[in-house]
Amino acid sequence: MARELDEKDFAILRKLAPEYSGILCPESGHEFHSILPPVSNHIAADEEDFAERVGRLSDEDWGYLTSQIVSGREDLGCMPEEDIETILVRIQGAVSEEAAEQVRRLYHLSGCGIL
């Protein structure tokens, strides 16, 4: 079952992409089911733009996103490795090194088709 974004999710999305007001992924025409992948893959111009955008998030936002990732509600599987590294640095600083390592393992397991 696809995740439906709630108001907290949209508040984070507005921080990451204030110029984007829709709920449809620009490339696929489908509704967003995660926050970080569409910003990485479709909204941010490049790796530097993505890093600047995620730098706007608070420690509280990162705590929330980390819990969503760990629970499987925020899927990072389609994101490029360089953006994952940016996310891991943010999680390590805002949440913990252990949380960042857990997210790293989940990302690699999803890339191997295990999850």
Q: Parse the chain into domains and list their residue ranges.
A: 7-111
Say what the pLDDT of residue 51 is.
Answer: 98
| HSE-up of residue 11 (Cα within 13 Å, Cβ side) | 10
Q: What local confidence, expressed as pLDDT, does residue 110 receive?
A: 77
* Cβ count near 52 (within 10 Å): 13
Q: Which of 105, 15, 23 is closest to 69 using CA atoms?
A: 105
pLDDT at residue 30, as a whole number: 47
What pLDDT is attached to residue 107? 92
Mean pLDDT by 10 residues, the chain (115 residues): 78 89 51 84 94 98 97 90 97 98 92 52
What pTM, to 2 d.p., does this model score? 0.87
